[in-house]
Every structure is written in structure tokens, then in C-alpha cells.
Structure 1
Amino acid sequence: MILITGANGFVGNALLSRLNANSIHVLGRKLPYDFLADRFYKQEINHFEDYSRALSNGVETVIHLAARVHVMDDKVTNPLEEYRNTNVYGTMNLARQAVKAGVKRLIFLSSIKVNGESTEREMPFCSFSDYCPEDYYGVSKAEAEQELFKLAKETGLEVVVIRPTLVYGPGVKANFASLLDLVYKGIPLPFSCIDKNERSLVSVDNLVDLIVTCIEHPNAVNQIFCVTDDKDVSTSNLVYKLCLALGKKAWQIPVPIWCFKLIGKILNKTNVVERLTNSLQVDITHTKQTLGWVPPQTLEDGLKKTAEAFIHSKISRGN
């Protein structure tokens, strides 16, 4: 039996579909429309919630996907503490109750943001990179990782940490969806000069495949696994690949990078510009060698599947 938190999220839905196809019995926080109601429990993730009902059904593995993610223009008084409430205290509350219930393994979906926001060219992050988070979300995920490994040492709970890069796939939201929409509409984009950076991405299918691999793999115990598509891409090249996937002509305007940086400084959007122009490369050698795993889906196939789902969604909505 597997308990999944965040079952209705982007990654959670993809994972449930995969496990359901494999006839693996699962429990989740929320009820997707195509699963049996008595298999799921709706609960919050915080430091005082009682998970005994969900954990009392012979659960052997917990896959913890639920998290407080990035909140634009966050107005809370203490945003770091809000992230900690869910991502650290909530995670540890769940983990301790899992130990008490006899759960064998906990798979924790972390983030490459625990290592930082950018890398120097040919100096990628890896499973052994130092913690160096630059925002509250990254700080909370880093703290949760460290607390989980302490608990593992004290109790024997098998902890597996997975650090994805930017996750994309059918149904993706936020900035990636906005980029898809701009390309789909044929709007010229000013990214032609951003062709020297390298970004690691991961399709949701590849991420899910790694999670499933870690459910029972003996070598996964108390390990950190970075996950990508194992092929890096510049911002300009990503737009070009999306154009191909969407069947659109690539319209890119050569705007110098210094212009982006100047505009970002004026508009107080330096962090946005840095994500567009900087590199963020991740080496998954440890993941591949330890688990004998390789991403089953190429970057190009992942983008194609994402584009097809995006077009289908547009057509179904009459757009």
C-alpha cells in the first residue's frame, strides 16, 4: 500500500495515473475523478494534523509530494515561517507518524532550488552539491531534507529524496504555460540572443518514472537523486523546440542580454531576468549509476507531448 500526499497536484495526478495503470493500490490526500472514494483522504499538511486514519491501512511507502510552493506577491507577515509550517514542520509531522505506523519508506519530493538558482557553465549541481538556497521555498525544502535524514538515522525509516529541476508536461501551469501560449499565438519573442545559457528540465513522465523506480529499489535507501531529461537547452533553443512541437514558425528577436538586465533592474524583476538568461545545469550521473535508471522520455518527446496536450486543451475550450 502506498500513501501519496499532493495527489491532486500536477505531479500527483501523473503519478496516480501511472500507478493505477500498474494496478498498484494507493491512498491520496484528495480524490481524482477516476479513483474509488474509499481509497482517499483529504487532509492538510501541517505540524499538528493527525494522519493516523490514512496510515492505518497497511501503508508501507509514503510518497510526499504536497508542499507550499511559490506564492507571487506573498503578503504574509513571515513568509519563511509559512513555508516552514508546511514544508518542514508538516513534513516531519507526517514522517514521525509514518514511523509510528510502521511505514518502511518515505519518498520526499524536494527541489533543485535547495542548491541555488543558477550554475556556472560546465559546473552543474549534483546529488552531492552543497546546500545554498536563495529563496524561502528552497530554504524550507533544504531544512526538510536535513531533518528527514536525521529521523532516518534515529529510527531506521528509509528516506529517499528526489530533486527535480523545472517540471513540464501535459497540463503544466505558470510560466511554462505562458510561454507555450505566446509561441502558439505566434507572438515574436525577444530571446534570440539568449543562446549561450544551459538549462536542465524534466518532463513529468520522467519524474514519475524515477519516483516509481524508487518505491522498491534497494539502492534508493537514504539517497538523494537529482532528476532531469539528461539534455540541457538554452532559452532560445527551448523556444525553437516549442515552435517545432506546436507547428509554429519560430519568431525570435535579437534583443541583447544587457537590455534584459537593465529592464529587470528598473522594474525590480532581476530574479525573473536571471532565470531567463542564466544557466542551471544538473548532473544526474549518481541517479543513473545508483539505480541503473535512464530517463525513458527524451526532451523532444516530452515537449511534443506537452504541446499536443496544450493544443487539445485550446481546441476543447474553443480557443
Structure 2
Amino acid sequence: MQVLVSGANGLVGAALLRRMVSEATVQPVAGVRELASSNLLCEQRAIGDLAIGRVAAEVLRGVEVVVHAAARVHVMQEHEQDQLAAYRSVNVDGTRALLTAAALAGVRRFVFVSSVKVNGEISLPGKPFSEADAASPQDAYARSKWEAEQVAQAFCERHGMEWVVVRPPLVYGPGVRANFRRMMQALGRGLPLPVGALHNRRSLVALENLVDFLFCCVTHPMAANQQFLVSDGQDLSVAELSQKLAVALGSRSWLVPLPSVWLSAMLNMIGRGAAAQRLCGELRVDSGKARTLLGWKAPQGVDEALDGTVRHFLREAQP
């Protein structure tokens, strides 16, 4: 079975391809913007720039399943004046272009990697997000993902193609960047972090666990035409996560117990309201549907996954 993964050079896409290379029943194909030498260890096909909105059906000839992991993700220092248009050009129009090519090529299943941010930014205490909850995207990125989900589902239903939507929370693992990497850098240097009193719990998903679940969505017949939330199954507070990372780093953590109300107010004062929400709010998901419907179980525990993340980070940091 040929499976094409878009976003093949990204964190999730590259890890999924590495997993599939070891599977005898799957022939992985890397969907890249343009052909180039890389360490993907499998066939590559150029799907072009999704922002342009054109994908040749020939690129998907022979492919049975597409895993669409390519996306325009959050930009820390956004320069686009119309952010929603910038996200839509890749995440919505690009998805539509890939779907059109998939239908023409006779693709059987389309797996769309979305985001828990489609559900919202904060879950209520004791009420983790579930697949039954109404969508509540709060920013341009989340809105574009929600629109892309709707495009994918409607398109597949019109053309007789199976669809699967997966909404992961924060993904961590070897090679992780952005805020998770910055946290490791700060803890590794022994810098004080004002998160000692942050006991709000948040769901995470280790890269290996997400890849395992996506592979399940590629192969499991019961995954067809379903939406899933997926996580490690062990939610952590920011304080707990920081402590575990500090232990794995072998550093002496200095977690200042600044009350969350104070921290949130300080971040809002300097225009970092979104960061305050991510740090101080609860965001939990219920991945029970993945376990009961597909019989899926996260193969990697949180401590093991964090240790692997830190080991990779330390190797990268070596001169």
C-alpha cells in the first residue's frame, strides 16, 4: 500500500515516514515542495507549493492513502497584515488542491492532521475536550484548520473518499522547537522560571505516540470517516512538566511559585496575553474514542518520551 505524507520534512511528517519505512505492508512516499537530497530514506514526489493551490494528479498516481501533515503553523513574529488570508492560502486552499488531486488519482483515504486549537484554547476544569464538542477556534491559525477540516470532510463525502481528522495537542519529541525548546534551554541553564505555582493541567502528545496513532489511522478500517483527539493519556501541569524536564536535563530547577493570577496579569501588561493563556489555562483532551474504537494505546510513556526529547536536545547542543 502506497502512503504519501505531505509535510515530509516537518517534525511529524518526517517521523511518520521513518516509522513507515520499517513496515513491510506500506510503501511510504514523501510529499515535498520540491525534490532535493534529504535523509527521508524513501521515494520523494514534488507536490509543489500548496499556497499556490495546484497539485498535479500524477504526483499521487498509485497512492492509496494521503496523510496531510503540511501546514502553515504559528509564526512567532508574524509579519503578514492579513494573517487569516495567509493561513487560508496554505491550510485551506492547499488542502483543497491536494484533495482534488487525490480524487483524480483514486486515493482511497485522506488523513488530515489538524489541531486541538480547533476545539478552543482552554478546556473547563474537569471537562476535557472530546470529539462531541463544538468547534471554537480562537485565532487565525485555528480557524484555518477548522475550515480545512470542513473542506476535507465535505469533499471526501462528495467523491466517495474516506476521511480521518486528527486533532493533536502540543507535540513534543526529538527535534521539537518553539516554546518547548526554549523551556529546555532555560532549565538547562538553571534560569529561574515563574511557573512553580502553575498547577493547571494540559494534555500533550509525544511524537512517537502521535506517529503511532497516525499509522493506526492509515491502516485501521474503523478509522474511516472519524474525528479523533489524541494524547499521551497523562496530563501534566506546567510545574510538573518543568520539574520532569529539569530532572532529565540533570539541572537544578528554580521554579518560582508566582501565583498564576500575577503571572497572567504581568504577561497581559506586556502584550503577551496569548502566552498567558497557554501557561495558565487548562487544556485537556479525552482520547477515549481512540482507545475504544481503534483499540489504540500510547506505546511510549511520558517519562520515557521526555527523556528521549532531552537526550536529543543535549546532543544538538554539543559543539
Task: Please state if 1:9 is matched with 2:13.
Answer: no
Which moves more between the two structures, 17-26 or 131-140? 17-26
Given the two structures, how large is their TM-score scaled by the length of structure 1? 0.94
Name 2:223's counterpart in structure 1: 220
Name 2:282's counterpart in structure 1: 279
Distance change (3 Å), C-alpha of 1:248 and 1:37: closer
> Which residue among 34, 38, 50 is the counterpart of 1:33?
38
Query: What are the superposed Cα offsets for residues 290-319 of structure 1, whole Å, 9 maximum, x if unpaired?
Result: 10001111111110110111111112xx2x
After superposition, residues 1-319 of structure 1 pair within 5 angstroms as: 1-23=2-24, 24-30=26-32, 31=36, 33-35=38-40, 39-41=44-46, 43-46=48-51, 48-56=53-61, 58-195=62-199, 197-315=200-318, 318=319
Which moves more between the two structures, 303-312 or 40-49? 40-49
Can you give the 5+ residue segments of structure 1 that lack an aligned partner in the other structure? none
Distance change (3 Å), C-alpha of 1:74 and 1:156: same
Query: For the residues of structure 2 that align with 1:174 and 1:305, how far apart are their CA atoms?
Result: 17
Query: For the residues of structure 2 that align with 1:161 and 1:245, how far apart are their CA atoms?
Result: 33
Given the two structures, how large is their TM-score scaled by the length of structure 2? 0.94
Q: Check the 8 A contact 1:121/1:198 in 2, yes or no.
A: no
Distance change (3 Å), C-alpha of 1:119 and 1:36: closer
3-state SS, counterpart of residue 277 of structure 2: helix
Distance change (3 Å), C-alpha of 1:38 and 1:125: closer
Q: Check the 8 A contact 2:119/2:129 in 1, yes or no.
A: yes
Q: CA deviation at 1:42?
A: 5.2
Moved over 4 A (4+): 35-38
3-state SS, counterpart of residue 53 of structure 2: coil
Query: What are the superposed Cα offsets for residues 204-227 of structure 1, whole Å, 9 maximum, x if unpaired?
Result: 100000011111211000100111
Q: CA deviation at 1:35?
A: 4.2
Which moves more between the two structures, 70-79 or 303-312? 70-79
One-letter amino acid matched to 2:27: H
Can you give the 5+ residue segments of structure 2 that lack an aligned partner in the other structure? none
CA RMSD of aligned residues (A): 1.5
Distance change (3 Å), C-alpha of 1:215 and 1:120: same
Q: CA deviation at 1:258?
A: 2.3
One-letter amino acid matched to 1:297: Q
Q: Check the 8 A contact 1:163/1:225 in 2, yes or no.
A: yes
Q: CA deviation at 1:97?
A: 1.6
Distance change (3 Å), C-alpha of 1:10 and 1:177: same
Over the matched positions of the two proteins, sequence identity in percent amounts to 38
Q: Check the 8 A contact 2:30/2:43 in 1, yes or no.
A: no
Query: For the residues of structure 1 that align with 2:20 and 2:185, how far apart are their CA atoms?
Result: 30
Which moves more between the two structures, 214-223 or 244-253? 244-253
Query: For the residues of structure 1 that align with 2:310 and 2:49, how far apart are their CA atoms?
Result: 33
Query: What are the superposed Cα offsets for residues 61-85 of structure 1, whole Å, 9 maximum, x if unpaired?
Result: 1110000111223222321111111
Q: CA deviation at 1:38?
A: 5.4
Query: For the residues of structure 1 that align with 2:299 and 2:41, how far apart are their CA atoms?
Result: 29
Q: Check the 8 A contact 2:116/2:167 in 1, yes or no.
A: yes
Which moves more between the two structures, 101-110 or 81-90? 81-90
Query: For the residues of structure 1 that align with 2:213 and 2:144, how far apart are their CA atoms?
Result: 23
Query: For the residues of structure 2 that align with 1:283 and 1:226, how far apart are their CA atoms?
Result: 7
